[in-house]
Chain A
């Protein structure tokens, strides 16, 4: 019972934040609603027994990435979105397309509902703990991808510095 209540509360916060992101016209409002979505998602990760992912979600996404976004919005002094008279084909074709996609996924999920486990708090406890298990996998089976991501980050740092540098 508690689990359902928690899931519904945080799921509604997630969906509300995402809808607010679409509705708001000023980018700073969209950014702050995205922070709300990410915070609520991290609590949903906790309900699924993923403590490490929940902590990283708060630290990296809500903490680092979104601060970068807010920083750029303020740096560029971005105002409210202007209404343009450009082509709206993407909207008229994409809107129904997205609705069909969402309806299809929801229908499939309800049809295959009995094939899925029922999630309850604490039913996925690793020995000795979640972070330990992830570290074990990361430094054994996923060692090569892990090292490659460090090179990727290095390239991203250099790319960001080169792109954002003032010319001349």
Chain B
């Protein structure tokens, strides 16, 4: 018998680690992965609350979040490839000009 708050605390810890990675990392791919980590943390709290209210709507929301995350990953990685083609770097500190 695990209290539901443990799941929510795990979700909060994962979210905060994702935010930390977002702030600390300088590689554009790793920054993108930290966004995925934050999305996963939010999914965990959706599933936890679905269990709390005995309602499947939360799990359907997780499904939609996953669909949007997959679409976002495809487009985001295409943008990263385009950025790398023009700048020859993945470091976000070097991608600071709107026009080359």
Give A contacts to B, CB under 8 Å: 3-4, 7, 11, 14-15, 18-19, 21-22, 27, 30-31, 34, 37-38, 41, 44-45, 47-50, 52-53, 56-57, 60-61, 64-65, 68-69, 72-73, 75-76, 78, 81-82, 84, 86, 90-91, 94-95, 98-99, 101-102, 105-106, 109-110, 112-113, 116-120, 123-124, 126, 130, 133-134, 137-138, 142, 145, 149, 152-153, 155-157, 159-164, 166-167
A7, A15, A94, A119 interface centre (most CB from chain B within 10 Å): A119
How far does the alpha carbon of A105 sit from the alpha carbon of B48 in the complex, in Å?
15
Given A75-B81, A156-B71; 4 other pairs, CB 8 A cutoff:
A113-B5, A160-B77, A160-B78, A162-B78
Question: How many residues on B have C-beta within 8 angstroms of the other chain's C-beta atoms?
Answer: 69
How far does the alpha carbon of A38 sit from the alpha carbon of B37 in the complex, in Å?
8
Instruction: Determine if A37 and B14 form an interchain contact, defined as CB atoms under 8 angstroms apart.
Output: yes
How far does the alpha carbon of A133 sit from the alpha carbon of B16 in the complex, in Å?
32
Mostly, the A contact residues are: helix
Nearest 7 A-B pairs (CB), nearest first? A156-B71, A163-B78, A116-B4, A105-B12, A109-B5, A94-B23, A18-B17
Given the contacts A22-B24, A137-B56, A152-B68, A69 and B14 also touching, CB distance less than 8 Å = no
A65 cross-chain contacts in B, Cβ below 8 A: 36, 69-70, 73
Instruction: Determine if A82 and B78 form an interchain contact, defined as CB atoms under 8 angstroms apart.
Output: no
Given the contacts A118-B1, A163-B78, A126 and B17 also touching, CB distance less than 8 Å = no
